[in-house]
Chains A and B, each alone.
Chain A
């Protein structure tokens, strides 16, 4: 079980990442705070443009600058603020203590280097081990991620593997230094459901084995339901609801979360039930409405929502929401 009394592994405090463009400032991440404990799986859900990926990229400081910039906040990982580290110190964290798995397995591997070379790279770089040992360990890793014929695959190039196999390699690379935290950004969105199920089971198993914490960023509410311990729901750069997975799905409290859950068709639901979508259009990040960013699409709104932006507030144990209205 996860011990929540201990100091968290990762503390994100009031993180703000903005993009300065010709058309104006995009507040992609606009003041979010959360904790992550060792060995915990945190799901971040939201629709495109809600800032879920940018918030994760910000932890590793992988924001293209310009136009992006982390303008405020703290990212405290094992007691040190990552945002204050020098670029060199940051490199020692990336891939070593915090690994990242990207959405696009096609483009996140270098097409001209062999799989073996790329899997070995973080080991040689961070753990200073010899080449022979690195080869041995890489083969072990590749067999751990259930890649068929790992020895032969060491000499393959990325284009010779399928999307699912490439993502296995990415997972192997992420695991290679036994990181404390893995950030997986839509790791299975580009893959088929049967492959997705295989990979997520694999990731869950591996992180459990080595006690790694996992941030799972996805738009798929089903994946979060299956794998996450706690969930953040984001909308327009802010966290609107924060709860354990069980509470979030059994008693969703923010109108946006309620709307999201009501708009996905489910395999187990009554066939005659029609979907109740969230009306309106996704927010224009360049031109966010005043007050609560969700109010133009909200069916529960009250006058206060038009003018004042709500902060996260505790509504029960391990359950917070940012909304003026009590919805049930």
Chain B
């Protein structure tokens, strides 16, 4: 009796069909709601940067370098007299771009690899997973350094490097899901129906393995923004004069005692962006996967 009542409950919760219900579940949890609003603001900032930014971020004003906040420069100026507020606003472009594109690539590669490994099993699975393990052993920053040394710094190489680091997580998640799902009766039913391997993978396994992928996407975007900032901080990211938070942090760091805002402002932005994506991911996990919820012990 009890189990059947509760079963219905959980199936109500997990039932997420389409984008609409994912959005609905985002708003069901306060924490993901906060994350979502911050992300929305960052995206607006990045897309409409030319209209929002008070000044051109690349115009140097050597008469006003390293100034504190003033009416003309709300956050002050940097070491060559550029408006810091405008540079921070434009900086969102690089961070979000790198975060979104590298995560998209990671997810596509990882999902595909994980799906094949989990579905095929046996020797295919073993080889694929050993390759994945190898990639997971590579320390992130060292790969960034090596890539920059070999291919030169720049946004493309940063995206490639972050993708190389990120896809393994997706592959593992999807493989784990597929290993569970492929034992379920409806997969057996698909086999009995005469469905092809391709159909079983993309029609039956993938849609049912997507919930943790959606969560991981959100978390990975945050991580990628972090990595991009780290790379920029080491001077390996986008090249000047393109505004970037990591780059600003790196230069501002030298003038920390003179104009603290120079490094605090971009630093805060990085923190805020990473936090927002993690919040969203946390909330999504609560919504999509009730088993992992903090208060999971209580029967709902």
Contact = CB atoms under 8 A, between A and B. Distances in A.
A19 to B, nearest CB: 7
Contacts of A67: 299-300
A169 interface: no
A285 B299 contact: no
A51 B5 CA distance: 10
Contacts of A52: 1
B28 to A, nearest CB: 10
Most chain A C-beta atoms within 10 Å of own C-beta, residue among B1, B9, B298, B299 = B1
A28 B300 contact: no
A28 B5 CA distance: 9
B4 A66 contact: no
Interface string A53-75: 11001000000101100000000
> Main SS of the interface on chain B?
helix
Contacts of A285: 5
Nearest to B13: A22
Interface residues on A, range: 10 to 19
A48 B300 contact: no
B12 A49 contact: no
A131 B11 CA distance: 47
A26 interface: yes
A54 B9 contact: no
A68 to B, nearest CB: 8
A50 B1 CA distance: 7
A267 to B, nearest CB: 27
B4 A49 contact: yes
Nearest to A26: B5
A28 B299 contact: no
B70 interface: no
11 contacts: A21-B300, A28-B1, A28-B5, A49-B4, A50-B1, A53-B1, A54-B2, A64-B298, A64-B299, A67-B300, A285-B5
A-B interface, 5 closest residue pairs, ranked by CB to CB distance from nearest: A53-B1, A64-B299, A48-B4, A49-B4, A54-B1
Interface of B: 1-2, 4-5, 9, 12, 298-300
Given A28-B5, A49-B1, 6 more contacts: A19-B5, A21-B300, A22-B9, A48-B1, A49-B5, A51-B1
